[in-house]
Amino acid sequence: MTSTPTIPAPDEALRFLDQVRILEDNVDHDIRNSAPQELSFYRLIHLRTWLRALHLVYQAFPVIERPLRILELGASPYFFTALLAHHIPCEIVTSTLPALTWPGEPLKVRPYSVVIACGDDRPPLRFQTWTFNIEKDNFPFADGSFDLVLCMEVMEHLTYNPSHTLAETHRVLCPGGKLLVTIPNYLRSQRIVQVALGRPDDFPYVGTGIQGRHQRELTYTEVKILLEACNYHIDYLDVEIVWPWSPAMTLAGRVFAALLHGFLRLPLAYARNRRELIIALATPVGEPRLGYPPQLYDDPMAFPQEVSFQR
Protein backbone atom coordinates (compact mmCIF):
# COMPACT_ATOMS: atom_id res chain seq x y z
CA MET A 1 0.00 0.00 0.00
CA THR A 2 1.45 3.35 -1.04
CA SER A 3 1.69 6.07 1.60
CA THR A 4 2.37 9.78 1.09
CA PRO A 5 3.32 11.31 4.47
CA THR A 6 2.19 14.71 5.70
CA ILE A 7 3.97 17.11 8.07
CA PRO A 8 2.19 17.86 11.37
CA ALA A 9 1.78 21.44 12.56
CA PRO A 10 4.01 22.40 15.54
CA ASP A 11 1.08 22.62 17.98
CA GLU A 12 -0.20 19.22 16.85
CA ALA A 13 3.24 17.66 17.17
CA LEU A 14 3.78 19.13 20.64
CA ARG A 15 0.39 17.84 21.84
CA PHE A 16 1.38 14.40 20.62
CA LEU A 17 4.81 14.52 22.28
CA ASP A 18 3.28 15.66 25.58
CA GLN A 19 1.51 12.28 25.70
CA VAL A 20 4.65 10.22 25.01
CA ARG A 21 5.78 8.22 28.04
CA ILE A 22 8.35 5.47 28.45
CA LEU A 23 6.49 2.44 29.82
CA GLU A 24 9.34 -0.05 29.57
CA ASP A 25 13.05 0.58 29.08
CA ASN A 26 15.35 -1.96 30.68
CA VAL A 27 18.38 0.26 30.06
CA ASP A 28 17.58 3.63 31.66
CA HIS A 29 13.91 3.64 32.68
CA ASP A 30 14.38 4.87 36.25
CA ILE A 31 16.88 7.60 35.37
CA ARG A 32 14.78 8.94 32.49
CA ASN A 33 11.63 9.05 34.61
CA SER A 34 13.48 10.88 37.41
CA ALA A 35 14.07 13.97 35.27
CA PRO A 36 10.62 15.25 34.14
CA GLN A 37 11.78 18.90 33.96
CA GLU A 38 14.71 17.98 31.72
CA LEU A 39 12.43 15.96 29.43
CA SER A 40 9.88 18.76 29.16
CA PHE A 41 12.60 21.24 28.21
CA TYR A 42 14.07 18.70 25.78
CA ARG A 43 10.75 18.41 23.90
CA LEU A 44 10.38 22.16 23.59
CA ILE A 45 13.95 22.81 22.43
CA HIS A 46 14.00 20.07 19.79
CA LEU A 47 10.46 20.28 18.41
CA ARG A 48 11.31 22.36 15.32
CA THR A 49 14.40 20.23 14.67
CA TRP A 50 12.26 17.09 14.65
CA LEU A 51 9.71 18.63 12.28
CA ARG A 52 12.52 19.76 9.98
CA ALA A 53 13.97 16.25 10.05
CA LEU A 54 10.54 14.79 9.21
CA HIS A 55 10.37 17.13 6.23
CA LEU A 56 13.74 15.88 4.95
CA VAL A 57 12.70 12.25 5.41
CA TYR A 58 9.58 13.00 3.36
CA GLN A 59 11.76 14.55 0.65
CA ALA A 60 14.10 11.55 0.63
CA PHE A 61 11.19 9.06 0.54
CA PRO A 62 8.24 10.95 -1.04
CA VAL A 63 6.27 7.77 -1.68
CA ILE A 64 6.53 4.88 0.77
CA GLU A 65 5.39 1.55 -0.68
CA ARG A 66 6.59 -0.57 2.26
CA PRO A 67 7.61 0.22 5.84
CA LEU A 68 11.00 1.95 5.92
CA ARG A 69 13.72 0.12 7.82
CA ILE A 70 15.16 2.76 10.15
CA LEU A 71 18.06 2.78 12.61
CA GLU A 72 18.06 5.70 15.06
CA LEU A 73 21.41 6.15 16.81
CA GLY A 74 21.32 7.62 20.31
CA ALA A 75 17.52 7.59 20.30
CA SER A 76 16.73 7.83 24.03
CA PRO A 77 14.43 9.36 25.34
CA TYR A 78 12.62 8.29 22.15
CA PHE A 79 10.49 11.37 21.41
CA PHE A 80 11.50 11.55 17.76
CA THR A 81 11.20 7.76 17.55
CA ALA A 82 7.53 8.06 18.54
CA LEU A 83 6.89 11.04 16.25
CA LEU A 84 8.49 9.28 13.28
CA ALA A 85 6.58 6.03 13.85
CA HIS A 86 3.33 7.98 14.19
CA HIS A 87 3.72 9.71 10.81
CA ILE A 88 5.73 7.31 8.63
CA PRO A 89 5.21 3.57 8.01
CA CYS A 90 8.43 2.12 9.37
CA GLU A 91 10.22 -0.59 11.31
CA ILE A 92 12.48 1.13 13.85
CA VAL A 93 15.54 -0.19 15.66
CA THR A 94 17.42 2.15 17.98
CA SER A 95 20.69 2.37 19.86
CA THR A 96 21.49 3.92 23.20
CA LEU A 97 24.37 4.29 25.61
CA PRO A 98 23.44 3.54 29.23
CA ALA A 99 23.52 6.53 31.53
CA LEU A 100 26.55 6.91 33.80
CA THR A 101 28.74 5.11 31.26
CA TRP A 102 32.30 6.40 31.02
CA PRO A 103 33.66 6.86 27.45
CA GLY A 104 35.63 3.81 26.37
CA GLU A 105 34.01 1.60 29.01
CA PRO A 106 33.24 -1.80 27.45
CA LEU A 107 29.55 -2.45 26.88
CA LYS A 108 27.60 -5.65 26.47
CA VAL A 109 26.32 -5.44 22.90
CA ARG A 110 22.75 -6.68 23.21
CA PRO A 111 19.13 -5.67 22.52
CA TYR A 112 16.56 -4.54 25.06
CA SER A 113 12.84 -4.10 24.62
CA VAL A 114 11.31 -0.63 24.80
CA VAL A 115 7.61 0.20 25.06
CA ILE A 116 6.39 3.76 24.55
CA ALA A 117 2.91 5.08 25.34
CA CYS A 118 1.72 7.53 22.67
CA GLY A 119 -1.64 8.58 24.16
CA ASP A 120 -4.74 6.80 25.41
CA ASP A 121 -6.26 6.42 21.93
CA ARG A 122 -3.14 4.90 20.33
CA PRO A 123 -1.54 1.48 20.79
CA PRO A 124 1.88 1.44 22.50
CA LEU A 125 4.96 1.57 20.28
CA ARG A 126 7.23 -1.45 20.76
CA PHE A 127 10.76 -1.79 19.40
CA GLN A 128 14.29 -2.92 20.28
CA THR A 129 17.14 -0.71 21.42
CA TRP A 130 20.72 -1.95 21.32
CA THR A 131 23.50 -0.95 23.72
CA PHE A 132 26.85 -0.42 22.01
CA ASN A 133 29.46 2.29 21.55
CA ILE A 134 28.78 3.75 18.10
CA GLU A 135 32.31 5.18 17.71
CA LYS A 136 34.16 2.01 18.71
CA ASP A 137 32.03 -1.13 18.39
CA ASN A 138 30.89 -2.89 15.24
CA PHE A 139 27.20 -2.21 14.69
CA PRO A 140 25.34 -5.48 15.41
CA PHE A 141 23.53 -5.46 12.06
CA ALA A 142 24.13 -7.05 8.66
CA ASP A 143 25.23 -5.10 5.59
CA GLY A 144 22.42 -3.19 3.90
CA SER A 145 19.96 -3.63 6.78
CA PHE A 146 18.44 -0.14 6.72
CA ASP A 147 16.90 2.40 4.37
CA LEU A 148 17.58 5.29 6.73
CA VAL A 149 19.98 5.93 9.61
CA LEU A 150 19.31 8.86 11.93
CA CYS A 151 22.18 10.49 13.83
CA MET A 152 20.42 13.45 15.42
CA GLU A 153 22.05 15.50 18.18
CA VAL A 154 24.52 12.66 18.69
CA MET A 155 27.85 13.54 17.06
CA GLU A 156 28.51 16.40 19.49
CA HIS A 157 28.58 13.81 22.31
CA LEU A 158 31.26 11.64 20.68
CA THR A 159 34.70 11.73 22.26
CA TYR A 160 36.97 9.72 19.97
CA ASN A 161 36.16 8.74 16.40
CA PRO A 162 33.05 9.89 14.48
CA SER A 163 34.58 8.42 11.31
CA HIS A 164 33.99 4.94 12.72
CA THR A 165 30.34 5.86 13.25
CA LEU A 166 30.01 7.07 9.66
CA ALA A 167 31.83 4.06 8.19
CA GLU A 168 29.65 1.57 10.07
CA THR A 169 26.55 3.55 9.13
CA HIS A 170 27.68 3.34 5.49
CA ARG A 171 27.96 -0.44 5.82
CA VAL A 172 24.49 -1.02 7.29
CA LEU A 173 22.71 1.26 4.79
CA CYS A 174 21.24 -0.39 1.72
CA PRO A 175 22.10 0.95 -1.78
CA GLY A 176 20.36 4.29 -2.15
CA GLY A 177 19.80 4.52 1.60
CA LYS A 178 20.10 7.81 3.45
CA LEU A 179 21.91 9.19 6.47
CA LEU A 180 20.30 12.14 8.29
CA VAL A 181 22.57 14.11 10.62
CA THR A 182 21.80 17.07 12.87
CA ILE A 183 24.45 18.72 15.05
CA PRO A 184 24.74 22.11 16.80
CA ASN A 185 26.82 24.62 14.86
CA TYR A 186 29.97 25.52 16.79
CA LEU A 187 30.02 28.99 15.19
CA ARG A 188 26.43 29.84 16.07
CA SER A 189 25.78 33.47 16.93
CA GLN A 190 24.56 32.67 20.45
CA ARG A 191 27.99 31.30 21.36
CA ILE A 192 29.80 34.27 19.82
CA VAL A 193 27.58 36.79 21.64
CA GLN A 194 28.09 35.07 25.00
CA VAL A 195 31.85 34.97 24.57
CA ALA A 196 31.89 38.64 23.50
CA LEU A 197 30.03 39.49 26.72
CA GLY A 198 32.63 37.59 28.73
CA ARG A 199 30.24 34.78 29.63
CA PRO A 200 30.79 31.03 29.29
CA ASP A 201 28.76 29.27 26.63
CA ASP A 202 28.62 25.63 27.54
CA PHE A 203 26.01 23.14 28.59
CA PRO A 204 25.41 22.32 32.28
CA TYR A 205 26.35 19.09 33.95
CA VAL A 206 23.51 16.56 33.79
CA GLY A 207 22.51 13.70 36.06
CA THR A 208 22.77 11.11 33.29
CA GLY A 209 26.56 11.38 33.21
CA ILE A 210 29.38 12.68 31.03
CA GLN A 211 27.74 11.47 27.81
CA GLY A 212 24.96 14.00 28.40
CA ARG A 213 27.38 16.89 27.78
CA HIS A 214 28.69 18.12 24.45
CA GLN A 215 32.26 17.01 23.76
CA ARG A 216 32.98 18.56 20.34
CA GLU A 217 30.64 20.49 18.08
CA LEU A 218 31.33 21.00 14.36
CA THR A 219 31.00 23.70 11.73
CA TYR A 220 29.28 23.60 8.33
CA THR A 221 32.61 23.10 6.55
CA GLU A 222 33.76 20.40 8.95
CA VAL A 223 30.55 18.39 8.50
CA LYS A 224 30.96 18.58 4.72
CA ILE A 225 34.61 17.53 4.87
CA LEU A 226 33.90 14.65 7.26
CA LEU A 227 30.98 13.21 5.27
CA GLU A 228 32.88 13.36 1.98
CA ALA A 229 35.99 11.82 3.56
CA CYS A 230 33.85 8.85 4.66
CA ASN A 231 32.41 8.25 1.16
CA TYR A 232 29.07 10.05 1.31
CA HIS A 233 27.43 12.12 -1.40
CA ILE A 234 25.78 15.12 0.24
CA ASP A 235 22.19 15.57 -0.92
CA TYR A 236 21.40 18.45 1.43
CA LEU A 237 23.52 20.50 3.83
CA ASP A 238 22.50 23.73 5.52
CA VAL A 239 22.59 25.60 8.81
CA GLU A 240 19.13 26.48 10.09
CA ILE A 241 17.34 28.46 12.80
CA VAL A 242 15.31 26.00 14.88
CA TRP A 243 15.71 26.82 18.57
CA PRO A 244 12.95 28.77 20.40
CA TRP A 245 13.57 32.12 22.05
CA SER A 246 13.71 32.22 25.82
CA PRO A 247 10.41 33.50 27.28
CA ALA A 248 12.42 35.08 30.14
CA MET A 249 14.07 37.62 27.83
CA THR A 250 13.85 41.29 28.76
CA LEU A 251 12.45 43.78 26.24
CA ALA A 252 16.00 44.73 25.23
CA GLY A 253 16.84 41.04 24.85
CA ARG A 254 13.83 40.42 22.63
CA VAL A 255 14.69 43.41 20.43
CA PHE A 256 18.29 42.24 20.11
CA ALA A 257 17.16 38.68 19.31
CA ALA A 258 14.78 39.96 16.62
CA LEU A 259 17.56 42.01 15.00
CA LEU A 260 19.99 39.10 15.22
CA HIS A 261 17.52 36.64 13.69
CA GLY A 262 16.78 39.11 10.92
CA PHE A 263 20.48 39.20 10.11
CA LEU A 264 20.82 35.41 10.29
CA ARG A 265 18.05 34.95 7.74
CA LEU A 266 19.88 37.02 5.12
CA PRO A 267 20.97 34.98 2.06
CA LEU A 268 24.64 35.40 2.91
CA ALA A 269 27.18 32.65 3.63
CA TYR A 270 28.46 34.54 6.69
CA ALA A 271 24.93 34.78 8.13
CA ARG A 272 24.14 31.15 7.32
CA ASN A 273 27.29 29.97 9.09
CA ARG A 274 26.17 31.73 12.31
CA ARG A 275 22.83 29.93 12.54
CA GLU A 276 22.11 27.27 15.16
CA LEU A 277 21.87 23.76 13.78
CA ILE A 278 23.62 21.95 10.94
CA ILE A 279 21.35 19.54 9.07
CA ALA A 280 22.67 17.10 6.48
CA LEU A 281 21.14 14.38 4.33
CA ALA A 282 23.64 12.12 2.60
CA THR A 283 23.82 8.97 0.46
CA PRO A 284 26.62 6.39 0.86
CA VAL A 285 28.72 5.85 -2.26
CA GLY A 286 31.41 3.28 -3.00
CA GLU A 287 32.70 1.24 -0.07
CA PRO A 288 32.69 2.15 3.64
CA ARG A 289 35.75 4.27 4.36
CA LEU A 290 37.48 5.47 7.51
CA GLY A 291 38.24 9.02 6.44
CA TYR A 292 40.38 11.15 8.75
CA PRO A 293 40.50 14.71 7.44
CA PRO A 294 43.44 16.58 9.02
CA GLN A 295 41.15 19.50 9.89
CA LEU A 296 39.52 17.20 12.48
CA TYR A 297 42.15 14.61 13.41
CA ASP A 298 45.42 15.62 15.04
CA ASP A 299 47.27 12.53 13.79
CA PRO A 300 45.21 10.42 11.36
CA MET A 301 47.76 7.59 11.54
CA ALA A 302 47.00 7.14 15.24
CA PHE A 303 43.53 5.83 14.34
CA PRO A 304 42.49 2.50 12.78
CA GLN A 305 43.32 2.52 9.08
CA GLU A 306 41.51 -0.53 7.76
CA VAL A 307 37.81 -1.13 7.48
CA SER A 308 37.76 -4.37 9.46
CA PHE A 309 34.07 -4.56 10.20
CA GLN A 310 32.37 -7.91 10.54
CA ARG A 311 30.33 -8.66 7.43
* Superfamily of domain covering 10-242+274-302: Vaccinia Virus protein VP39 (3.40.50.150)
| Buried b / exposed e along 168-189 (16+ C-beta atoms within 10 A) | bbbbbbeeebbbbbbbbbbbbb
255: part of which helix (H) or strand (E)?
Answer: helix 251-264
Are the CB atoms for 15 and 9 separated by under 8 Å?
no
pLDDT at position 260 is: 87
Q: What is the DSSP letter of 284?
A: E
Q: With the C-alpha atoms ordered 124, 130, 134, 140, is the resulting torsion angle positive or negative?
A: negative
The residue among 106 and 144 whose pLDDT is bigger is 144
Is the model's pLDDT at 299 over the cut of 60? yes
pLDDT in tens, 158-167: 989 999 999 9
Output the pLDDT for position 5. 64
% residues pLDDT > 70 (the chain): 94
Looking at residue 142, its pLDDT comes to: 94
Give per-residue pLDDT as tens, 87-122: 999 999 999 988 888 777 788 899 999 999 998 788
Q: Tell me which range, 32-46, 53-67, 138-152, is most confidently predicted by mean pLDDT.
A: 138-152
- pLDDT of 247 reads 61
Reference 20, options 97, 77, 94, 99; nearest CA is 77
CA-wise closest residue to 100 among 205, 216, 22, 217: 205
